[in-house]
Amino acid sequence: MQANTNNASVTDQGFMAQAMHLAVQAADIGEVPVGALVVCNGQVIGQGYNQTISAHDPCAHAEIMALRQAAQAIGNYRLSGCDLYVTLEPCTMCVGAIIHARIKRLIYAATEPKAGAVASQLQLFSKPHYNHTVQVESGVMADESSAMLSNFFKQRRLAHKVNQAKKDAVVNSTSIIDQSKDAVI
């Protein structure tokens, strides 16, 4: 089901670059940097980026946000003939939404080894019981997307270590003060 994307079209690269800009917006607000675009007849009709934390919505993945906006734009939940560009391999929830929306073609950048539901783990599009087939292309700007994700999580881990060190320092200084009080008594 996976297409060879070593020769991705200029159009696909251009739309994926736009999705990458959306992913940066997600990172800027502390969300996992994933961006998505719905394109129909060469026009962007929906876009989104991860907002699960900021929107307090477990379904606010980039793909879902883009599909919702596109459906509103055309006044129909069926997005037949449209393409979805996303910077990370979709999860199970998003694959279901892609099928229900009748997306014609999914183009994604990086694989998601832990929870990817297209190629990495479940390969849901290859299941015979679905009444819709989605064309899949992967690897368009994969290196750039992977680097953005890796950097985001590296920064998040570093921030966690700094915060933990600060907490440890407060606990240690409180402990030292308590010990000196005990020594005085």
What are the tokens at 172?
């240690």
Q: pLDDT, tens digit, for every residue of 93-151?
A: 999 999 999 999 999 999 999 999 999 998 999 999 998 999 999 999 999 999 999 99
Catalytic residue among 63, 89, 112, 137: 63
In whole angstroms, what separates CA 126 from the centre of its chain? 22
Find out whether 33 and 147 touch, Cβ atoms under 8 Å: no
E strands, 50-134, where? 83-88, 105-110
Verify whether residue 63 is a known catalytic residue. yes
- Going across the sheet that includes 43-49, the strands are 2-3, 135-138, 105-110, 83-88, 35-40, 43-49
User: What residue type is assigned to position 59 of the chain?
Assistant: C
Q: pLDDT, tens digit, for every residue of 30-60?
A: 999 999 999 999 999 999 999 999 999 999 9
Find out whether 36 and 19 touch, Cβ atoms under 8 Å: yes
C-alpha gyration radius of the chain: 21
Confidence check: pLDDT of 181 > 80 = no
Confidence check: pLDDT of 161 > 70 = yes
Confidence check: pLDDT of 13 > 50 = yes
Neighbour tally for 121: CB within 10 Å: 16
Q: What is the pTM of this model?
A: 0.84
